[in-house]
Amino acid sequence: MSADLGALRKAGLMRLSGQTPWVSVGIGTCGKGNGADEVLAALETTLKNGKSEALARRVGCFGFCAAEPLVMAYRPGKPLLLFTDVKASKAPALAKALGDNEAFAKMAKIAEAKIEVWDFRTQKITYGEDFAYLPTWKELAFFKGQEKLVLRDAGMIDPESIEEYLAVGGYSGLIKAITTMTPDSLIEEVKKSGLRGRGGAGFPTWKKWRIMRDNALASPGESYIVCNADEGDPGAYMNRNEIESDPHMLIEGMIIGAYAMGASHGIVYVRAEYPLAVERLEKALAQAKKAGLLGKQILETRFNFDIEIVTGAGAFVCGEETALIASIEGKAGRPSPRPPFPAQKGLYGRPTSINNVETWCNIPLIVARGGEYFSSFGTPPSPGTKVFSFVGKVRNTGLVELPMGSTLESAVYGMCEGMGPKKKIKGLQSGGPSGGCIPSSLFKTPIDYEHLAELGAIMGSGGMVVMDQDNCMVDVARYFIGFTANESCGKCTPCREGTSQMLNILHGVADGEASEQDLKTLESLALSIKDSSLCGLGQTTANPVLTTLKYFKDEYIQHIKAKRCPAGVCENLYVALCESSCPLHMNIPGYLQLLKENRIEDAFELTLRENPLPGSLGRICHFHCRMRCRRDMLDESVSQGEIHRYLADSMYKMGREKSIYNKLIKEKLPASGKKIAIVGAGPAGLSAAFWLCRLGHEITIYDGSTEAGGILRWGIPAYRLPKDMLKKEITLIQKLGVKFVFNTPMESKEQWQRLIDANDAVIVAVGAGHETGLGIPGESLSGVMPAGEFLKAVSENQKPKVGSEVVVVGGGNSAIDAARSALRLGASVKIVYRRARAHWRKEYRFFA
């Protein structure tokens, strides 16, 4: 028998690292969705037609889902080459590269990375060294910091080949367990590893096994172990991938578990949406049986154990242990009260132990390499690694295997490379419907059971959905409660009725019809559902509500008070995405319509009513509206700035703005008798004056400099914003009756006191002109200058001395203004920016 295994192992090794070159394509569900099947078919045909001896191999998923299809190429003695985003049209070139070392070296030039050695943990394969210029796979951002224990085979071996699994040390844990260990010493080894359940709650696995073994011994007869592959958390798909890429690892883990716990039957409960996982698992089970590793007299001992698959039928609650058992028994999957616990009375009333897919998958390694090897990863309370799916608003979506205790930050901004400068990540949702939302300000948190729970979230099965400014947190909470309201089995009242009540309130908030009292009701409802529900589903359903209320309360308040959904998601609370994202909430659809009808004056009037400085702002706005423009998906966002500018420039040129100014002046409300002082004559102060003055208040603006405009006047160079334009637009504010007091820097407490005493209100609109600096040594050396100071000198026409070579640190607005100004002063300029060129604002890339 073992001779048989030896032959299989050898055959596998010949395929993986023998004399025959090969090319492999990662084929998991993700790969298939991205055309991996076509790539593999094209490679097969090309190799066949070329009468090549090289192989086209199917392998599992390497985890880098965003870059699928992923292809690797092998020639004996050379490193593996890794290619991302491969199209079927690449097949001829790839096939050719397998033919000789020269062509291979040429192909290496366009590879993404290389793999010189691969540590299968139970085996190491050295492929070869070469191509010094190519980064190794570990140097790619996505893989840096990952530690592949569970995913050690994924993407490297054919999941449908037991030979290849054996070749990389597969089933060596099982052989060791059965031939050299007792059940008790196995449980002891798992205890040493510190492994905790990967299905959510993190219960120590050895304890579960111990209890189960004791119960099975006390009550002779059938007993069951179950693999929970129901993976119902939307956003999590690591279990699917673990089965699809390496089904034998799961099988090996379960056989070892059965031996340790003395179980006679194994069941894998897979959700219905994972057909490929079921197919591969079925094949693997048949292979294992044929090899004598499963079934009767395993490895020629007296140990018998078999595994069956049950496919679920789409009910989230069936992930709960007692519901899962009911479901296997052919009933509706409704949970039942515990005790009795499944380990006492489980499936058909017999002792039953349930573990998550990934928990099982960790077992072979723990046995083969020892518990201490495993616990050398991660942290003492949470040893080992965990596979997470990072999805949603990040550049690199995919499966990331991290040592426990890594920070969220390292994963979101490191491996997943964030979202770039255009969008701001707001937080992430961890743990699915039972989990919570964590704001980006807490991304320094280490990822492990305790730390996530402290924040009110849970690790769950490891789904991490990243959200950015375009996601509304009220909508997120509403979405999750909608999900659980739908999935509640209906057995107990708090969960059934409570979730639908929470949902009603959340609908109200999203529709702008809720009050602050409703938020209090929402919170108390959430807490009582948590306390009084029968099963885990109800007990955790409130987490998304509680965490969004805790960390994103301001969004709820904006929905309630301002009746606005800042992200532009809740349909009743915004007009258009651009309108919603513009800080002035300009009626963009409105003036566009007027413009379309060629009513330029009316369009200008509508613009002016909301934006007193259209000509200036049109040139230098931060253009929030463009970050959300739907047109972006077609070609490019609409430049509202250009439209403000066009309207203003044409009106001023024709001198037709006067009648509109007069109209605004006439419309002024009667004097209110209130006096308001505004400190700062920059854009914020001017805007405040514009609206308050029209309401009939008496306004005085104080400013430390000699003219109005603030940053517009002193920070932005004239070639970007002509000073005449600014002056012209400020006259409107003067005409409305606003008084200006210049040369009055606010320096003393008494000055402020006097202002406060003499006015009904004081508005501080001093802007954010303070230089923060970089916080690195050498900033105070001579010749180093903050951009603001430099730009101010330029706009005062002082022609600051810059020398012949200038380095600008940064790539934002001020940096570019500074660079352009220095260029105009005759220097040669270099821009140093921390982001990649591709992540830089498009309109700036052109300067470089």
Partner 1 sequence: MPSTAVAQKDGDLKHIILENRDKQGYLLKILEKAQETSPKLYLSEETMREVAHRLDIPLTQVYSVATFYSFFNLKPQGLHSIVVCRGTACHTRGSLALLNEALSMLGIKSFKEEEENSVTSLDGFASVRTVACFGQCALAPVVMIDGEVKSRMTIGRLVTLLHKMKKGG
Ligand X SMILES: Cc1cc2nc3c(=O)[nH]c(=O)nc-3n(C[C@H](O)[C@H](O)[C@H](O)COP(=O)(O)O)c2cc1C
Residues in contact with partner 1 by CB under 8 A are 29-30, 32-34, 65-66, 68, 231-237, 240-241, 265, 267, 269, 272-274, 308, 310-316, 327-328, 330-334, 389, 391-393, 397-399, 429, 432, 463, 465, 467, 471, 476, 479-480, 482-483, 485-487, 489, 503, 633
How many CB atoms lie under 10 A from the CB of residue 529?
26
- Residue from 151, 535, 573, 608 in contact with ligand X (CB under 6 A): 535
- Residue from 623, 652, 714, 840 in contact with ligand SF4 (CB under 6 A): 623
- Label residues 482-497 b or e (16+ Cβ within 10 Å = b): bbbbebbbebbebbbe
Task: State the Cα–Cα distance between residues 157 and 656, nearest whole angstrom.
Answer: 74
Q: What is the DSSP secondary structure assignment for residue 567, as one 8-state letter?
A: T
Own/partner pairs for 653-662, CB < 8 Å, 24+ apart? Answer: 656/601, 657/604, 657/608, 657/732, 660/601, 660/604, 660/605, 660/608, 661/732, 661/735
Task: State the Cα–Cα distance between residues 249 and 362, nearest whole angstrom.
Answer: 8
Quote the least distance from Cβ 392 to ligand X, whole Å: 19
Smallest CA-to-CA distance from 240 within 221, 223, 257, 227 is with 227
CB 157 within 8 A of CB 74: no
Q: Is 201 in the site for ligand X (CB under 6 A)?
A: yes
Contacted entry of ligand X, ligand FES, ligand SF4, none for residue 641, CB cut-off 5 to 8 Å set by kind: ligand SF4
Binding mask 488-527 for ligand SF4 (x = CB under 6 A): xxxxx--xx-------------------------------
Q: Is 453 in the site for ligand X (CB under 6 A)?
A: no
Please give, one letter per residue, the 3-state secondary structure of 72-96.
EEECCCCCEEEECCCCHHHHHHHHH
- Alpha-carbon Rg of the chain, whole angstroms? 33
Quote the least distance from Cβ 489 to ligand FES, whole Å: 22
Measured at the CA of 451, the angle between CA 445 and CA 454, to 5 degrees, comes to 115
Contacted entry of ligand X, ligand FES, ligand SF4, none for residue 341, CB cut-off 5 to 8 Å set by kind: none
How many CB atoms lie under 10 A from the CB of residue 276?
15
Q: Is 401 in the site for ligand X (CB under 6 A)?
A: no
Nearer to ligand FES, 169 or 235 (CB): 235
Quote the least distance from Cβ 491 to ligand X, whole Å: 12
Quote the least distance from Cβ 607 to ligand SF4, whole Å: 8
CB 560 within 8 A of CB 519: yes
CB 700 within 8 A of CB 738: yes
Between the CA of residue 70 and those of 17, 216, 224, 392, 688, what are the distances in Å? Answer: 19, 46, 39, 21, 55
Smallest CA-to-CA distance from 359 within 201, 152, 523 is with 201
Peptide bond into 342 cis (omega under 30): no
Q: Is 512 in the site for ligand FES (CB under 6 A)?
A: no
Measured at the CA of 203, the angle between CA 198 and CA 208, to 5 degrees, comes to 105
Task: State the Cα–Cα distance between residues 439 and 461, nearest whole angstrom.
Answer: 20
Smallest CA-to-CA distance from 356 within 256, 435, 239, 211 is with 239
Q: Is 617 in the site for ligand SF4 (CB under 6 A)?
A: yes
Quote the least distance from Cβ 70 to partner 1, whole Å: 12
Contacted entry of ligand X, ligand FES, partner 1, none for residue 833, CB cut-off 5 to 8 Å set by kind: none
Q: Is 373 in the site for ligand X (CB under 6 A)?
A: no
- Residue from 123, 146, 287, 356 in contact with ligand X (CB under 6 A): 356
Quote the least distance from Cβ 430 to ligand SF4, whole Å: 21
Nearer to ligand X, 232 or 398 (CB): 232
Task: State the Cα–Cα distance between residues 502 and 217, nearest whole angstrom.
Answer: 46
Give strand ranges (E) for 534-578: none
Task: State the Cα–Cα distance between residues 751 and 747, nearest whole angstrom.
Answer: 7
Q: Which tokens belong to 462?
A: 């490891």
Q: What is the DSSP secondary structure assignment for residue 571, as one 8-state letter?
A: G
Quote the least distance from Cβ 459 to ligand X, whole Å: 10
Q: Is 430 exposed, middle or buried (0-12, 13-18, 19+ CB in 10 A)?
A: buried
Window contacting ligand SF4 (CB under 6 A); options: 29-37, 433-441, 532-540, 742-750: 532-540
Q: Is 448 in the site for ligand X (CB under 6 A)?
A: no
Quote the least distance from Cβ 431 to ligand X, whole Å: 10
Nearer to partner 1, 237 or 740 (CB): 237
CB 352 within 8 A of CB 223: yes
Nearer to ligand FES, 36 or 608 (CB): 36
Quote the least distance from Cβ 642 to ligand SF4, whole Å: 9
Task: State the Cα–Cα distance between residues 664 and 643, nearest whole angstrom.
Answer: 21
Quote the least distance from Cβ 279 to ligand X, whole Å: 20
- Residue from 69, 199, 202, 235 in contact with ligand FES (CB under 6 A): 235
Quote the least distance from Cβ 194 to ligand X, whole Å: 13
Nearer to ligand SF4, 225 or 643 (CB): 643
Restricted to residues 297-326, the positions that interact with ligand SF4 (CB under 6 A) are 317
Nearer to ligand X, 398 or 431 (CB): 431
- Residue from 247, 418, 433, 538 in contact with ligand SF4 (CB under 6 A): 538
Nearer to ligand X, 17 or 228 (CB): 228
Quote the least distance from Cβ 319 to ligand SF4, whole Å: 11
Quote the least distance from Cβ 641 to ligand SF4, whole Å: 4
Task: State the Cα–Cα distance between residues 289 and 308, nearest whole angstrom.
Answer: 12
Q: Residues for the chain: how many in total?
A: 848
Task: State the Cα–Cα distance between residues 84 and 634, nearest whole angstrom.
Answer: 25
- Residue from 228, 389, 616, 795 in contact with ligand X (CB under 6 A): 228
Dihedral (C-alpha) 217, 218, 224, 225: value to the nearest 10 degrees?
-60
Q: Is 199 in the site for ligand X (CB under 6 A)?
A: yes
Nearer to ligand FES, 234 or 812 (CB): 234
Please give, one letter per residue, the 3-state secondary structure of 423-475.
CCEEEEEECHHHCEEEEHHHCCCECCHHHHHHCCCCCCCCEEEEEECCCCHHH
Nearer to ligand X, 333 or 614 (CB): 333
Q: Is 234 in the site for ligand FES (CB under 6 A)?
A: yes
Block residue for tokens 């009939």:
696
Nearer to ligand X, 236 or 699 (CB): 236
Block residue for tokens 């596979």:
387
Chain centroid, CA 328 distance in Å: 35
Binding mask 309-338 for ligand X (x = CB under 6 A): -------xx-xxx-----------------
Quote the least distance from Cβ 591 to ligand SF4, whole Å: 9
Nearer to partner 1, 160 or 233 (CB): 233
- Residue from 96, 422, 423, 624 in contact with ligand SF4 (CB under 6 A): 624
Q: Is 536 in the site for ligand X (CB under 6 A)?
A: yes
Quote the least distance from Cβ 342 to partner 1, whole Å: 15
Nearer to ligand FES, 234 or 405 (CB): 234
Window contacting ligand X (CB under 6 A); options: 353-361, 511-519, 549-557, 728-736: 353-361
Contacted entry of partner 1, ligand X, ligand SF4, none for residue 485, CB cut-off 5 to 8 Å set by kind: partner 1
Query: What residue ranges bind ligand FES (CB under 6 A)?
Result: 234-235
Query: What residue ranges bind ligand SF4 (CB under 6 A)?
Result: 317, 335, 488-492, 495-496, 533-535, 537-538, 582, 584, 586, 588, 611, 617, 621, 623-625, 640-641, 644
